[in-house]
Amino acid sequence: MSKIVDARGLACPQPVILTGKALKESDTVMVIVDDETPKDNVSRIATRKGYNVKVEEKDGDFYIHIQKKNTVSEEVVASPIPAPEGDLVVLISSNTVGRGSDELGEILMRAFMHTFMEVEPKPQTMIFINSGVKLAIEDSIVLEDLQALAGEEIQILVCGTCLDYFKLKDKVAVGEVSNAYTILETLLQAGKVVRL
């Protein structure tokens, strides 16, 4: 039975996340979006995962028909990418993503943190240094997402020196206050480090 996902009006990455959840429940999904960007994102992700994708436009909305391919050779393409040997570690050195607009950087950080709950493989450790420590304190824009990640047994290390510098040590709301030795050791032993 085909599953319908109405993602009109939803900001990135919600249409992709909802599509991913629907594809776990059904081999055939129709996603409705109202903008070119989510249409392209949903179509691209589904194609990369080995699904057949057909898009039709009606009255300014895009109807993305996604169907699982049936041949063995095509299923091999859809196989998940093997995780690197060793832990996957995410290093976050700022409370925003990218350079230029801090406002856009906050929006991107929220989107990335929320999306970590939906992607595989999940990191084993997330390290927060410099102004990135501001994400692990009370009233952080991503506190709920970080608490959910910690609940998934993802280790969250927060630089103690950085907290002292910003006078935030008493406001830490998630993770463990750490030190340069532990942080560097974790980075050096990682199978892969992703920097945001």
Predicted local distance difference test score (pLDDT) of residue 124: 95
Q: How sure is the predictor about 122, in pLDDT bands with cuts at 50, 70 and 90?
A: very high
Count of C-beta atoms within a 10 Å radius of residue 121 = 13
Mean pLDDT of 101-120: 91
Residue 80 has pLDDT above 70, yes or no: no
Domains of the chain: which residue ranges?
3-77, 88-195
Residue 72 has pLDDT above 50, yes or no: no
Expressed in angstroms, the distance from the first to the final Cα of the chain is: 39
Residue 99 has pLDDT above 60, yes or no: yes
Mean pLDDT of 19-39: 90
Predicted local distance difference test score (pLDDT) of residue 134: 98
| Percent above pLDDT 70 for the chain | 91
Domain range 88-195, CATH architecture: 3-Layer(aba) Sandwich (3.40)
As given in the structure block, the two tokens for residue 142 are 């991503």
Predicted local distance difference test score (pLDDT) of residue 84: 53
Q: Where are the alpha helices (DSSP H) in the chain?
A: 14-25, 36-48, 72-77, 102-115, 143-151, 160-165, 180-189
26-30, 42-46, 101-105: range with lowest mean pLDDT: 42-46
Task: Give SS3 for 86.
Answer: coil
Residue 56 has pLDDT above 80, yes or no: yes
Predicted local distance difference test score (pLDDT) of residue 13: 80
Predicted local distance difference test score (pLDDT) of residue 82: 56
Average pLDDT, the chain: 89
Domain range 3-77, CATH architecture: 2-Layer Sandwich (3.30)
